[in-house]
Amino acid sequence: MYCFRCGNKLPPRVVNCPDCDTPQKRRQRYRRRMILGLFIFLAGAVAGSLFDTFFFKGRAWEHSFLGALNSQETASATVAPSQHGADRAPTPMKPGDLVDLKPPVASVTAVQSSPSVELVAASSSSAVEAYQEAPAPVEEAVSSQPAGIASESSVSNESSVATAPVESVLPTTVAAGKLVYAGVDVLEKDNSSSYHGFFSRDGKEMVFASNRLKVNGKSTYQCFIKKPAATEKAVLAFEWPGNVWTPEFTPDGTRIVFSSDSVAPEHLFVYDRKSGNAKALTSGDSKNMMCAVSPDGRLVAYTSGQKGKANNIWLIGIDGDNMLQLTSGSADDREPRWSADGSTLYFTRIHTYMKKSDIMKIRLDPLGEAEPVVANGRRNWLPDMSPDGSTLVYVRSESDDGSKNVLVVRRLENGEETVLKPLGEAECLRPVWAADSSGLVFHATVGSTRNLYFARFKREQQGN
């Protein structure tokens, strides 16, 4: 018998060659096999990437069995908070989370209880610092105009024609008739400051943030709930050790999504109203804020960025199970808002802080590039699309220092814009439409406090 490696004749009854089967030579053969296997793996990965790029435009997984697996619903999964920062790379969101997003139906999946999150109290920030370029919530407000709200004043509006080019951002169905401002009513007014008003889908409740209570002896924004009428009393939704910002209901009204500095630097949380438990959606060293829940309740759009770097728009599952970055670049992207059909996000892109920012949109189905909607060299921010798809409302700063903020209502059909000053020269911020497009909630500075108001609209039919 001869050795198949070196060809030398083997002694009788010897199977392994004594020259070739030494421990040293076995290790050498093992290393060679490992290096060869690694080389084959890398070559296959490069070839597969090139094939995917040229033939499938980077989406080859959609043409495999993985596409079917990924399309399954994952919203009911209970997972640990997602790490978003330098300590962990974000988990890619599954394609099923971006396909066929539809408004929620009447039946709602039961909310799972989650363990209470442990929180670390953080120092309170000033109201002005917390609010600069802050977001408005998703277009999930009221199904009818809030009943019983007390009227305060009604001011005639000013008109101006848009100079920016008009882009088509209409959904499939647009209600007939022009929305015309009709007056303003009080929603919540006291000696404290109230921000970020948001209606439940059925219009029976409003959630907002207010600094009327102190936490550890400091003025801290907490989450309150009330019926829309000005005479109704607001109650604390839940106790929280830090500031609560941009709270809003999920479409079924069972949960509240918000951001807070209770865990530094700032992160997203979801509170289960039935169980009384809260869960962190994000963690890590990135500042995650300005959240907005999708119309079907499965996704949360938010703003994320690290200190010294530009903010970008991200998506995460309502249970914190996936993340997807939507924008990138040197511009500061903030304040995401959903279209009523869930197919598009509108947001603010800041070019020069407090001086110049544009209203942008990005389509999610299929995922596209960000495009300008209002870009006229001024400070335009806090956009919100009417649920009927006909009208965009946003805030415009009339002064070079970012003050004198007014509401601008823009008809998408022809680009006609109307400047609203419902409370005279008062600063008006963060407008969000009611679900039936009968009006919008906003907060305004009157005196030394900010309070919540409802701007009523009526539909003017053609020929009137």
User: Among 53-62, 89-98, 279-288, which range has the highest average pLDDT?
Assistant: 279-288
CA distances from 456 to 48, 138, 385, 392, 407 (A): 57, 19, 16, 15, 13
CA distances from 229 to 183, 318, 346, 350, 426 (A): 16, 30, 30, 36, 22
Q: For residue 45, is pLDDT > 70?
A: yes
Q: Can you tell me the distance from the alpha carbon of 80 to that of 281, in angstroms, rounded to the nearest whole number? A: 8
CB-based contact 185:456 (threshold 8 Å): yes
- pLDDT score, position 55: 66
Tokens 């908070």 locate to 81
Q: For residue 76, is pLDDT > 60?
A: no
**Could you report the per-residue pLDDT of 350-372, keeping only the tens digit for each?**
999 999 999 999 999 889 999 99
Torsion of CA 80, 81, 84, 89, to 10 degrees: 10
Q: Can you tell me the distance from the alpha carbon of 44 to that of 37, in angstroms, rounded to the nearest whole number? A: 11
Q: In which band, very low, low, confident or very high, does the pLDDT at 7 lie, cut at 50, 70 and 90?
A: confident
Q: For residue 463, is pLDDT > 70?
A: no
Give the pair of three-digit tokens for residue 408.
């601008």
Average pLDDT over residues 1-23: 74
**Could you report the per-residue pLDDT of 209-242, keeping only the tens digit for each?**
999 998 888 999 999 999 999 999 999 999 999 9
User: What CATH fold (topology level) applies to the domain 127-460?
Assistant: Neuraminidase (2.120.10)
Q: For residue 315, is pLDDT > 60?
A: yes
